[in-house]
Amino acid sequence: MKTKTVIMSVCLVIAAFAGYLLADATQKGEAQMATTPVDMSKVPQADLEKEIARNGITAELDAINFYEQMASMTKNATTRKVLLDIAREEKTHVGEFQALLINMDQEQRTELESGKREVEALAKN
Ligand SMILES: [Fe+2]
């Protein structure tokens, strides 16, 4: 029963905060939820699957930020644990979309490795 109450509380807090964010973003003309940040009708058919994967990554990163921000706001330790667990799961989703993307985009795969090497080199200095 206590677990159900915590889950319901988490859902209510998330829904309220999501509503606030959506209203705020909509007012600013930059709503992210349930929309794509690019006009998909203008994406060439050959690039559509890559763009879907990129949008998926964007949405999952947004979700991680959202859940971690909510976790930092709550005073309830169980709620914080649930939110951070969900945030961790979203990181897995980022990895899934990234895997999809690098399977379709050789340049992305190459540049991802290049970026990794650059950071490793900078970290050594
Ligand atoms: Fe996700």
Domain ranges in the chain are: 2-124
Nearest to 101 by CA among 52, 34, 31: 52
Model pLDDT for residues 29-60, shown as the tens digit of each residue = 565 566 777 888 999 999 999 999 999 999 99
CA of 123 to the centre of ligand 1 (A): 30
Nearest to 87 by CA among 102, 106, 67, 71: 67
Q: CATH topology for 2-124?
A: Ferritin (1.20.1260)
CA of 60 to the centre of ligand 1 (A): 5
CA of 65 to the centre of ligand 1 (A): 12
Mean pLDDT across the chain, nearest whole number?
A: 85
CA of 96 to the centre of ligand 1 (A): 10
Length of the chain (residues): 125
pLDDT greater than 70 at residue 102? yes
Model pLDDT for residues 8-26, shown as the tens digit of each residue = 555 555 555 555 555 566 5
